[in-house]
Structure 1
């Protein structure tokens, strides 16, 4: 079987005997000497939800995850799991399990021995530990591979062994640290779907770290975007994509063209925004009359030959890249160079061709407040 969730009886499989627990950070700070890695961070992960900590390298997301696990201790603030203050508890006392980026499998042990290792260390008999391990291996579609060594498995199979080992103790919270970074693109997509379906089927509370915005959008109930040790914005994938709080979030969550425009009216729920000689009606998002920055998603821009130029601005194609399901363009325009994606078009527009540019707000154009 190729997927964790490919077992048709997944939803009927024995679920965790423990109830999913919440995770709460209250004004948590982590310092390493004079360096602040996490700065006054507060958030809540509701029971049974998958929340992703997303951000570039060095933003504090992995340190935050390690503080949930008890692998790092908070310098200030309070951490609660299931309503219990665990701020000063060791990793062994927190009832959480972590799937590491490297998988951290023991090469000299079989798959079964790897998964049974945790219960065995905790004093469970070898027979019972093996039964617990076999249950989890069956759950994730690895039954029949229990006698193999990790080196005899594919990358995706090794990832699932790591997940089974984390699940075998039925933790209150399951943590993933960049779990797909060692997989190729096609396998990444498959395994992230597996993780998401497993989390939902077993009602697991999951904190998931990644720097890959597409991965975060695909698996998350909510996303916490971090930048420079602080939280930049928290919301659902749709909220972050369609209503970014600032320029950093707009640019980090999906591709975005950041362009200048002008609000030409001063009140109402929608704003009349002028961009490149074209007027658009957009949600106001608290801004008044005057200059604004806009985030325009690549597929919110359409190109044509300009035979009907009403409500459009003119530009020139500088580069076209055919990618099978879509064509990507770089277009020179009065509002700057634009990155444009058009889906389903068979023939590319040649570089150097003049084009009429139209904007479709319903596909993703947002005013950036305070920019």
Structure 2
């Protein structure tokens, strides 16, 4: 997708299998919403093809594609009741009033809004408005359902509940969904597959666990969850394993196709273990900060490889600033990545 000299979406190619929820994840301006709008027909691709159910829809208008979109703002009609909002699509398509009403009632019941038919959007909570938007998108039973940042207007607790409802609905109805968000936790929670975008291109795609545990590069490691990114040296490689020098410590990691020489490691905060000073194979460190966050501690530790962010679960006692510790590494959550 080009706007004059600017390429907003650059050589992006992927497939969404029927009945799967695939999330486009990335920071603002990476091209994810433009990609979604191209699927919807709200933007016409400058180059390439878009196929839905094997049919080339690249040049078709939004009305002629078998897709529905749930917008960030919900875009509900304030002067229409919940039922009228949900029945809007079939009505515009020219279906009879009674048939449109029945289709709308069926989908409103599906999203848990039975009994709310005569209310107006202003009389609903944010989560209920979101469900009306989903019911309206579902009423014509599109081949593809598109979500553009659907939870960004909700508070944190409601966001969790509504994302669970969207995921349950998608699985129960076997819907094919393209979902856009910049929220990593949301993407990990709802997706069959995640496509991470950066600078108008795909940085990596895969199952949520693969992206978290095996990031392809520093950008993905840093964007999906928290990661300590450290410059390291691969000392030796044999049988797919690499001996990696992290400061004065040496750890054995999957080589992931890398040879000897400079590299980086991405270390998840929960993969750093704090122990008593003098522990063999550990990095010496000093506690810089320690914050109590209910079910875990957030800890900053100064070491020879720089400041490391550590998360400790199930620990209630704060660690004293300036206290010496030894930092060792868990068996998972430490991943070798290319140096650039």
TM tier, smaller: over 0.9
| Structure 1 residues 45-79: Cα deviation after superposition (integer angstroms, max 9, x where no partner) | 11111000000000000000000000000000111
Report the counterpart of residue 21 of structure 1 in structure 2: none
- The residue matched to 1:160 in structure 2 has which SS? helix
For 1:111 and 1:317, how far apart are their aligned partners in 2?
55
1:1-40 counterparts in 2 under 5 A?
A: 30-40=1-11
For 2:321 and 2:19, how far apart are their aligned partners in 1?
50
Contact 1:285 1:369 in 2 (8 A): no
Report the counterpart of residue 94 of structure 1 in structure 2: 65
1:40-189 counterparts in 2 under 5 A?
A: 40-189=11-160
Contact 2:21 2:179 in 1 (8 A): yes
- The residue matched to 1:328 in structure 2 has which SS? strand
- The residue matched to 1:109 in structure 2 has which SS? coil
Report the counterpart of residue 225 of structure 1 in structure 2: 196
- The residue matched to 2:11 in structure 1 has which SS? strand
Q: Which 4+ residue blocks in structure 1 deviate beyond 6 angstroms? A: none
**Alignment RMSD (CA, Å):** 0.9
Q: Structure 1 stretches of 5 or more lacking a match? A: 1-29
TM-score, normalization by structure 1: 0.90
**Residue 213 (1) aligns with residue 184 (2):** yes
**Residue 260 (1) aligns with residue 251 (2):** no
Contact 1:286 1:369 in 2 (8 A): no
| Structure 1 residues 168-194: Cα deviation after superposition (integer angstroms, max 9, x where no partner) | 000000000000000000111111111
- The residue matched to 2:226 in structure 1 has which SS? coil
Contact 1:314 1:357 in 2 (8 A): yes
Shift of 1:346: 1.2
For 1:102 and 1:86, how far apart are their aligned partners in 2?
26
For 1:92 and 1:152, how far apart are their aligned partners in 2?
30
For 2:181 and 2:291, how far apart are their aligned partners in 1?
28
For 2:48 and 2:126, how far apart are their aligned partners in 1?
38
Q: 1:333 aligns with which of 294, 303, 324?
A: 303
Shift of 1:305: 3.2
Shift of 1:36: 0.6
Report the counterpart of residue 269 of structure 1 in structure 2: 240
Shift of 1:370: 4.8
For 1:66 and 1:316, how far apart are their aligned partners in 2?
50
Contact 1:49 1:221 in 2 (8 A): yes
Which sits farther off after the overlay, 294-303 or 263-272?
Answer: 263-272
Shift of 1:137: 0.7
Contact 1:280 1:361 in 2 (8 A): no
For 1:348 and 1:333, how far apart are their aligned partners in 2?
19
Q: 2:288 aligns with which of 306, 309, 318?
A: 318
Shift of 1:313: 1.2
- The size of the alignment, in residue pairs, is 340
TM-score, normalization by structure 2: 0.98
Shift of 1:312: 1.1
Shift of 1:242: 1.0
**Residue 358 (1) aligns with residue 328 (2):** yes
